[in-house]
Structures are given as C-alpha cells and as structure tokens.
Structure 1
Amino acid sequence: MTGYNVLAEVYEWLISDAKLPPAEFAASFDDVLHLLPSNAHVLDCSCGTGQLAVGLAGRGIQVVATDASEAMVRRTAELSEEFGASVRAVRANWEELPDHFQDNTFDMVFCVGNSLHHATGATGRGAALESMSRLLRPGGRLVLTSRT
C-alpha cells in the first residue's frame, strides 16, 4: 500500500465530495450500530484516514483501526487526537490481522469504502473476508460497503 503512504496527506481532499465529519459518518451506520452490545469492541479494517473509527469512538465504542498504509494509520491517530477520541491505530493488512488479534475479538468489523477492491482477485478478496470474519465473536457482524 505504498501508494496510500504518498496519498495520506491529500486523501481527504481527493475524496472531499464524499467526506463526512466523523460523527456524521458513524451516524450513517445507525441501522447496524444498534445491534452492538454495551461495551462493544469494533474493528475498522482498512480505516483510511480514520473518519469512521473516530466517529464510532466518539460514541463511546471501543475501536481498533487498521490499515496497510503506515501513513494512513498515522493520520488516523492524528484525527483521533484532534477529536479527543480513543482509537487504537495499528498498521496491518488483511493477511496480518490474525497476527495482531485473537479470533472472536470483535462484536463488529467494518470494511467500508473502496477497501476490499484492493484485494487481488477473488482469491484475495476471499482471504481478506476470512481474515476479518474470524475476528468476529459469535453473533458478530461484518459490515461491508463499496463505493465502486
């Protein structure tokens, strides 16, 4: 994801037509967020600049944000600090998720935007989905969106 290391500083400008403030972005998922138990643990996989992660943390949800790009993880940490939100930001791609987290760790895993399109072919997408789904607790939810 070296391309996103270069883009991290201007990424929000590039997507400005679709960018929502963190709280509004999180609110766009209210239809699934009500399914979370109290004291929920959520993973924002391929978090980009952290808009969703910070919005969720602003609601008091325990959030971990991961991205394959070190620069995006850094930007997520900066945004978290800017909004006074508690987000644990980790540099990890899909294949590395099991190295960082035990199975059955999260109540909900988000992978939103164009993230899944970066997986290589059907095999890569399948592996990414497997890595994310194994982190879900029994009854947990995997939330996927695509802008493409």
Structure 2
Amino acid sequence: MTDSRPDTEAAYDAWAWLYDRTLGPAYRDRKMAFLERALLSELPPSAHVLDLCCGTGQMIAPMAAHGFAVTGIDLSADMLRHAALNVPQAVLKQGDARDFTLDRPVAGAVCASASLNHIPGLDDLERVFRSVHAALEDGGIFVFDINHPAQMTRHWLGQPAAGEIAADYAWMITPRYDPASATGAFRVDMYRRPDGASSTGPALWRKLLSRPLMRWRRMALLADFARRHPDWDHRGEDYPIHGHDLAGVRERLEAAGFDVRMETFSGKGAVDADNAACFIARKRPAASAMEAAE
C-alpha cells in the first residue's frame, strides 16, 4: 500500500486482519513461481531482498525460508503488525513507496499483487522507480506486476468478482474501472460475526459454497449478505486504483536507470486483456546509466 494520505492508511489498517487470512496467502501462492523464476533464481544465496508494499508479509515468509535476508516496507502500521507476527526475522519499516531509503543496498526488490496500481500517476510511479533504483546494487533486479488498462476495461465491470463466506467472517471484492479517466477502485465489503449473531449455516454448506462450481451461488449470497445478516459488523472500503499505460511504465523505468523486459506470470504468451503485466527491470551499472542519459 502506498498512498501517503492518513485516511488511506487507516483504510488499509482496517483491511489488514482480512488480507492476512485470505488474499495475502492466495496472492503468494499464485505468484511465487514467477518470483522464483524472475528474481530469486538470479540472486546469490543469502542475498538481501526488498519487499516493497509488503502487506502482512506473505511474500516475505517463503523468501526468508529460502535463506534470503528480507526488508519489508509498507505504509500501513497494522499490515506491518501482522507481518511482524508472520515473519519475525524480517526487518520491517513503515514508509511510502515513493520516498524511502535503506541502510544498505539490496540485490533484488519485489512489489507484488499490483500494489503499484495505487500510485496516482506516472510521475509518482517514476518516484517509486528512482527510490528502488537507489536502493539496489548495480545489476540488481526489480520485479513487479501491474494491472493494465486493457485488462481492467475487460474485467473490472463493477460486478462482485471474489469473496468468501466463513463461520465468523465474510468478504466480497467488487472492482470497477473507467477507461475514459484511467481510474477506478476495488470495493472490499468486510463482515465480522459478533457474539450471538446469526450463523452462516453448517460447515458442510460453507465447504460446498467454496467450490469453483458454486461461485455463482456464493457471489449471490455475498451480494445480499448485509440484508441477510444485519446483526453482523460490516465495513466497506473503496481502494482507488489507476490504470498506467504500459509503454509509459516502461519509459519511466528506463528513465530511472533500468533495462526492462515485460512478460506474463507464466512467462508464456503475450501480455493482453486477460493477463497482468509483469516487469523485470535490472539496474544499469553507473557507467551505462550515464551513457544512456547522454
């Protein structure tokens, strides 16, 4: 999470408990193969790695298990509180992705789960890139994934897209995107069951609902959850996002001093409306960077 406004920080603090249980582990499981291929396999053993916008530390844990020393940065204090419990050996710092410094350089950096879509424009995005560039050793690698305009135009249609119904909590995400303004948001509706509140049904029913073939039924129940469970605590938050032109992202990376390539998570096929864009950027040595600027 990156926006420095206090209200945005509080919004992410409110989501930390849910993210730690649900989306954090899910994102890690989907993206670790890419991270291992694009970054970790390129680093020497015990290298120092930066996890920028680290959230609750879900990506840090497997990196630490591989023997890497990891520093995590996030703006949300509550996200970092969970990260400290998940990965006590990591160094954790509260800060803005656009303006941070490290005590010593890192060999690699990652910013996962489309966190950079929260950056409001290419100028601010370049600030992120320059901060990462300053934190990296010469030849260091920076990898990140980003949702792009063609992808969001096709899929972010203001309809519930994901969610879960558990015994003591439920959640639903509804993404929307406006191509004309290149802005949007994903809304997270979070429900927690107070003592004595109504049940969501037997455990077997919830297990059936979690199956892919029952997605339509699960999403229908979540869309109607507030009416069906008025005695549950409910909080809804909108998290603004920005659609960054991929050519512009590449240009800003190059201007910040990186050599760049782009691919899909699988490393196969083209980045298109059905695939997020994954950037792999290598910091140019100082001499090369000066030559490129001339």
User: Which range, TM-score by smaller chain?
Assistant: 0.7 to 0.9
Match of 1:91 in 2: 94
Match of 1:29 in 2: 35
Whole-Å Cα distance in 2 between the matches of residues 109 and 118 of structure 1? 18
How many aligned residue pairs are there?
139
Residue 34 of structure 1: how far off its partner (Å): 1.2
| TM-score, normalised by the number of residues in structure 2 | 0.44
Residue 117 of structure 1: how far off its partner (Å): 1.1
Once the two structures are superposed, residues 61-115 of structure 1 have per-residue CA deviations (whole angstroms, 9 ceiling, x without a partner) of 100111011111111111114xxxx2111111123412xx14x600001011121
Structure richer in strand, relative to its length: 2
Letter of the 2:97 counterpart: W
Distance 1:26 1:60, change over 3 A: farther
Task: Give 4+ residue runs of structure 1 displaced > 3 Å after superposition.
Answer: 16-21, 24-28
| 1:1-148 superposed matches below 5 A | 1-13=9-21, 15=23, 18-20=26-28, 26-32=32-38, 33-81=40-88, 86-98=89-101, 101-102=102-103, 105-147=105-147
The more displaced of 120-129 and 44-53 is 120-129
Distance 1:71 1:119, change over 3 A: same
Whole-Å Cα distance in 2 between the matches of residues 16 and 145 of structure 1? 15
Whole-Å Cα distance in 2 between the matches of residues 25 and 62 of structure 1? 19
> In angstroms, what is the RMSD of aligned CA positions?
2.2
Distance 1:20 1:112, change over 3 A: closer
Which of the two has higher C-alpha Rg? Answer: 2
Letter of the 2:12 counterpart: Y
Whole-Å Cα distance in 1 between the matches of residues 105 and 24 of structure 2? 33
Letter of the 1:119 counterpart: I
Whole-Å Cα distance in 1 between the matches of residues 63 and 24 of structure 2? 20
Distance 1:50 1:17, change over 3 A: closer
Identity %: 26
Letter of the 1:105 counterpart: P
Letter of the 2:100 counterpart: L
Residue 17 of structure 1: how far off its partner (Å): 8.6
Structure richer in helix, relative to its length: 1
Distance 1:74 1:17, change over 3 A: closer
Q: Compare relative contact order (CA 8 Å, sep 6+) and give the higher one, 1 or 2.
A: 1
Contact residue 98 and residue 125 of structure 2 kept, 8 A: no
Whole-Å Cα distance in 2 between the matches of residues 111 and 17 of structure 1? 15
Distance 1:16 1:46, change over 3 A: closer
